[in-house]
Structure 1
Amino acid sequence: MYEAKIKDDPLFDLIKSLTQTEAAFFKKYACIHVKGEENNYVQLFDILDGMEYFDAAALRKQLGKKNVPKQLHRVKNYLYNQILSSLREYHAAITIEEQLKDTLKDIEIMYGKGNYKLCKTLLDNGKALAYKYEKLNAIIEFLEWDIRLISKDIGYKNKTELLSNIFLAHKLVLDQKKNLYEYELWFNKMYTVIKSNNKIRDAKQMMAWEEIMGQDIFKEESKALSFQAKIIYNYCWGGFYYCTGNWMKVLEVVKRRYDLLESRQDLINDAPHQYINILGNKLGLLVNLPTMQSISLQEGETRFFEIVKSMKRFGRLWRSLTGISEIEIRVFANTTIHELGFYVSRGDFISAMTCSEKAEEKMESLVHSIGRSSELAYLYYTAYAYFGAGEYRRALRYINYIMNNNYLELREDMQCFTRILNLMVHYELGNVFVLESGVLHAKRFLKQKGYFFAYEKCLLVFFKKAAMMKLDTRKEEAKALLSLQNGLKAVPQNKYTNNFDEYFHFMWWIESKLAHKPFAETVQEGVAGFVEKSKA
């Protein structure tokens, strides 16, 4: 079960992020490269590796008085740098970048020995590999070696024309690099916006998007001069359409990104994160209510779990080929969160609970690897699953964990909905006094995050009334719920008012209370009706 976090330190975080093969490689590396006190460093490594959370006092106790160095912080810093060195060596033969760096080193060595013909052979092979995988920095270095070798008598013909072609190729690559830098700059700005707000709720939130997507490089795909730039171009448009609720356009852009990656299988092998990301996007589309309308619920479920299987298979394959589990960890986090969202969105809260319980221990152990945004999503969906199943006290454990930890600007929408979910849980439990203070806390938090919209105001007004009037009879409760339902329906509409799935769940929760039916049943009926309505 998630408990309050204990602050970690950089060395502990680094050690806990290592895979089994990376950890084993470090111990071998330490025996070769760390002289004199290697056993002490390995002992320190093993103690930290065995801790669930960093505990300085426990570390000193396990080391023993005789083995605790006078300046422990320096020893830890040395160990930290040795681990990084071992990781660099371990991964050197795996990535294309490292292979190209090794080739460039070989060229430099052979050049120093005067073996120019072998230099040329290494250069041609390395340059071909760099072009194949679009490694622009390496291409520039290979072209510069081309220039240096022209002056050597190794069979070059028409050196003037050759030099002119090299300069032209150099200029084209520099243009591609500058172009890619522009896309990466605006991609990072876009990523910050989407990780913070997710979906746009009012026109003010559009300002950041208008600045980004108004850039000349986003006018058409032909502005992107490299394959990677085309991927970013489509990623940004996909993010924009997702945040603004233009689901048909999202489908188009996701398909375009998928087709681009499929057309360059070699690049999938070099950058598997891109492939996992696009498959995750496809899962997300099958979870969102608006995109459920395009296919039957059964077909959507079949497609969803086929993609899940493909992602898990890819993660296992990548680990077996490289010995690196990073991709498999990303797949685990991605599929777990989307599977939770899938069940929650359809009202299958029992399956969502089961999914969460199976994954919890692994999710908690990988918290340093999966990222805080993924952790937040997992906790939120888990809390919602327990709420939907009527397990209110269990839901509170996860809600309290979220509210007691600072997630900064990550998924502020989800953090705000957690505060409302907290009120819904306490309402169901009849915790009147907690509800009253909870409303004040939620209002303050929503205002601080800029999420105090009309729907949220209506909900807080209802819970404030519930706390003050206590709604002791069914008649009083029904009257208050009807007032809330009418209030939500009467909210002035703009282009983005209903641009969040939680809106439908709020309405279904009210319906379930008025009809005295299980919330899960009401959601399932609502989703089925939502899909059928689109086909009429």
Structure 2
Amino acid sequence: MANLLKDNLIVLIQSLSPSEKRHFKLYVNRLGDNIDAKFLLLFNLLEKMDDYNEEKILKSNIVTKLQLSNLKAHLYKQILVSLRMNPVNQNIRILIREQLDFATILYHKGLYKQSLKILDKAKILAIEYEEKNIAFEIVELEKVIESQYITRSITTRADALAIQAKELSKQNVIASKLSNLSLQLYSIMLKSGYAKSDEEASKITKYFNKQLPKIKIETLGFREKLWLFKAHLWYSFLIQDFLSCYKYANKWLCLFDENQQMIFLNPVWYIKGNSYLLESLYLIKHKTKMKIVLENLEKTIALEQFPKNDNLSSQYFICYYNNKFNLYFLDGDFNAGLHLVDEVLRKIIENRDRIDEHHVMVFYYKIACLYFGMGDNKKCIAYLKKIIENKNLSIREDLMCFARILSLIAHYDSGQDYMLEVQLKSTYKFLIKMNDLHEVQKLIIKFLKNLGNIYPNDLKSEFEKIHKTLKVFENHPYEKRAFLYLDIISWLESKLENKSVAFVIQQKSKLLLR
């Protein structure tokens, strides 16, 4: 089996577009001596491979086994250099850092004046575009040069640089603290999902308040505000305050609306902001606003000045299709969403090296829910099985839990009662192990377990009882999370009314005024 480095090289080569491959070959051949370079011959060979095949490489006589590791590392580096030089990949951040590199070279040659001139222009750009980490590096190099190149203005210049360095350092520290807090809260969300009790919510709140730096928002720049809103957003998600989620996701997007140039400089965070705003709107069931936000995002992505690259393509794919599924779920129009399945599965394969397993499993869960809403329980079970049998998924325990519960319901609906007993025991053990066995889950499992012992004439009254019991938990601070993953209430109502789940949700959707 190929090791990680081998995988990385062929994955990098396979990720190159035709124009990037052409640019690489032009870059390599800029000097005649490189036409027959071994690393170019290796590139041409790997370019034709679907999977890494060391035996085939050695048989080509391009390189010996002892030289292969070094040649591959050299090829990897040359591809990165070529990509960096490619105009397609140029952005203001890379250009500023390039200017810093040029200034450093001039400084080492003792050309202080020229170096300072480039640094001054680069610093103005860095501050204008909120690249304060690079701006701080520039000021630090300016201080080094000024300490060696004596001018008449050295006194005032030294004071100005010292003040500027102090201010940039302070802003960078604030941004670092806020980004650390945001990342830690995001980690908790991925690992455990929403808070499950007052104790968990209290613990999260104490942690959030303790780690949140004391700041005045009016003194913050774009970058610091962005991290602040992210931290508040993840805190709101964790404690299930979905109106606050909407509030801070909206602030996030408004920040970009007020600083249009930042959309094109930080396109990933623009897409992410839209993604969280759409998720918040889904949770508060504001489908009209969802459609507007999604349409606006599509228009912005289509703009000529919006950057185009593989990373942005995969990020947009996750955001767009997740929320297209969500809109069909809110409308209860499951059949209309069926066309998304093939599109999503195809794009998962196309983006397999850029999408993590967590997001793939979320898509499988949404596809399973789509089939469940259509009444196709066998396909629903097939996609849930992909989640349940995934031994490598160590995040989003809540997703794993509700995949198992939905699987139980789908097995019951499909008439596969003979498998229910084994699955009930397995699910019960799993939920206890995950410390996720709450009242709603207990009631659902107990209800499904007893279904086999109920006479057909008594089924409706049993469905009425469990429906009445679960309705109480629909707005419970912590138990309501079960209904975010699985609309068990609509399923029960479909049994009581002898209608399809889709029909019940469609009727509810009509009552939504937004």
Question: With structure 1 as the length reference, what TM-score do the two structures score?
Answer: 0.83
SS in structure 2 at match of 1:369: coil
Name 2:311's counterpart in structure 1: 326
C-alpha distance in 1 between matches for 2:242 and 2:271: 21
SS in structure 2 at match of 1:423: helix
Give CA-to-partner distance per residue, 1:138-183, whole Å, 9 cap, x none: 22232234334546779x5543122112111111111122222211
Task: Output the amino acid matched with 2:334.
Answer: F
Aligned pair partner of 1:397 in 382, 396, 399: 382
1:27-42 map, 5 Å: 27-29=25-27, 36-38=37-39, 40-42=41-43
C-alpha distance in 2 between matches for 1:161 and 1:81: 44
Name 1:287's counterpart in structure 2: 282
Name 1:297's counterpart in structure 2: none
Q: Displacement, 1:259?
A: 2.0
For residues 151 and 390 of structure 1, do their structure 2 counterparts lie closer, same or farther at Cα, with a shift above 3 Å needed? Answer: closer
Q: Does 2:287 correspond to 1:305?
A: no
SS in structure 2 at match of 1:410: coil
Name 2:352's counterpart in structure 1: 367
Aligned pair partner of 1:408 in 393, 414, 418: 393
Aligned pair partner of 1:142 in 125, 129, 138: 138
Q: Is the 8 A contact 2:92 2:265 kept in 1?
A: yes
Name 2:257's counterpart in structure 1: 262
For residues 35 and 204 of structure 1, do their structure 2 counterparts lie closer, same or farther at Cα, with a shift above 3 Å needed? Answer: farther
Aligned pair partner of 1:97 in 93, 98, 101: 93
Name 2:430's counterpart in structure 1: 445
For residues 110 and 85 of structure 1, do their structure 2 counterparts lie closer, same or farther at Cα, with a shift above 3 Å needed? Answer: closer
Give the length in aligned residue pairs. 505
C-alpha distance in 1 between matches for 2:467 and 2:35: 69
Aligned pair partner of 2:464 in 482, 499, 511: 482
Name 1:199's counterpart in structure 2: 194
For residues 451 and 82 of structure 1, do their structure 2 counterparts lie closer, same or farther at Cα, with a shift above 3 Å needed? Answer: farther
For residues 373 and 312 of structure 1, do their structure 2 counterparts lie closer, same or farther at Cα, with a shift above 3 Å needed? Answer: farther
Q: Does 2:93 correspond to 1:107?
A: no
C-alpha distance in 1 between matches for 2:267 and 2:403: 33
Name 2:162's counterpart in structure 1: 167
For residues 259 and 367 of structure 1, do their structure 2 counterparts lie closer, same or farther at Cα, with a shift above 3 Å needed? Answer: same
Q: Is the 8 A contact 1:17 1:369 kept in 2?
A: no
Q: Displacement, 1:516?
A: 1.0
Task: Output the amino acid matched with 2:182.
Answer: F
For residues 13 and 153 of structure 1, do their structure 2 counterparts lie closer, same or farther at Cα, with a shift above 3 Å needed? Answer: closer
C-alpha distance in 2 between matches for 1:504 and 1:395: 13
Name 1:187's counterpart in structure 2: 182
C-alpha distance in 2 between matches for 1:389 and 1:190: 36
Q: Displacement, 1:509?
A: 0.3
Name 1:430's counterpart in structure 2: 415
C-alpha distance in 2 between matches for 1:376 and 1:181: 31
Q: Displacement, 1:16?
A: 4.5
C-alpha distance in 2 between matches for 1:361 and 1:476: 46
Q: Is the 8 A contact 1:344 1:381 kept in 2?
A: no
Give CA-to-partner distance per residue, 1:417-452, whole Å, 9 cap, x none: 111111111111111221111112212222222221
C-alpha distance in 1 between matches for 2:501 and 2:214: 45
Aligned pair partner of 1:513 in 465, 471, 495: 495
For residues 228 and 162 of structure 1, do their structure 2 counterparts lie closer, same or farther at Cα, with a shift above 3 Å needed? Answer: same
For residues 208 and 78 of structure 1, do their structure 2 counterparts lie closer, same or farther at Cα, with a shift above 3 Å needed? Answer: farther
C-alpha distance in 1 between matches for 2:312 and 2:376: 34
Q: Does 2:341 correspond to 1:356?
A: yes
Q: Kindly report the root-mean-square deviation, in angstroms, between the aligned alpha carbons of the 2 structures.
A: 3.3
1:191-270 map, 5 Å: 191-215=186-210, 217=212, 222=217, 225-270=220-265
Q: Does 2:480 correspond to 1:498?
A: yes
Q: Is the 8 A contact 1:19 1:325 kept in 2?
A: no
Q: Which runs of 5+ in 1 are unaligned?
A: 1-6, 293-299
C-alpha distance in 2 between matches for 1:34 and 1:208: 63
Give CA-to-partner distance per residue, 1:233-255, whole Å, 9 cap, x none: 11111222233232332332222
Q: Is the 8 A contact 2:285 2:330 kept in 1?
A: no
Q: Between the two structures, name the one with larger relative contact order (CA 8 Å, sep ≥ 6).
A: 1
Q: Is the 8 A contact 1:19 1:324 kept in 2?
A: no
Name 1:524's counterpart in structure 2: 506
SS in structure 2 at match of 1:405: coil
Q: Does 2:107 correspond to 1:121?
A: no
For residues 65 and 464 of structure 1, do their structure 2 counterparts lie closer, same or farther at Cα, with a shift above 3 Å needed? Answer: farther
Q: Displacement, 1:118?
A: 3.0
Name 1:384's counterpart in structure 2: 369
For residues 355 and 153 of structure 1, do their structure 2 counterparts lie closer, same or farther at Cα, with a shift above 3 Å needed? Answer: closer
For residues 376 and 29 of structure 1, do their structure 2 counterparts lie closer, same or farther at Cα, with a shift above 3 Å needed? Answer: farther
Give CA-to-partner distance per residue, 1:470-506, whole Å, 9 cap, x none: x5x5324324423432442466985322145447710
Q: Is the 8 A contact 1:202 1:496 kept in 2?
A: yes
For residues 365 and 336 of structure 1, do their structure 2 counterparts lie closer, same or farther at Cα, with a shift above 3 Å needed? Answer: same
Q: Which runs of 5+ in 2 are unaligned?
A: none
Q: Is the 8 A contact 2:194 2:238 kept in 1?
A: yes
Q: Displacement, 1:459?
A: 1.0
SS in structure 2 at match of 1:144: helix
Q: Is the 8 A contact 1:31 1:38 kept in 2?
A: no
SS in structure 1 at match of 2:105: helix
Q: Which of 212-221 and 485-494 deviates more?
A: 485-494
Q: Which of 418-427 and 34-43 deviates more?
A: 34-43
Name 1:314's counterpart in structure 2: 300
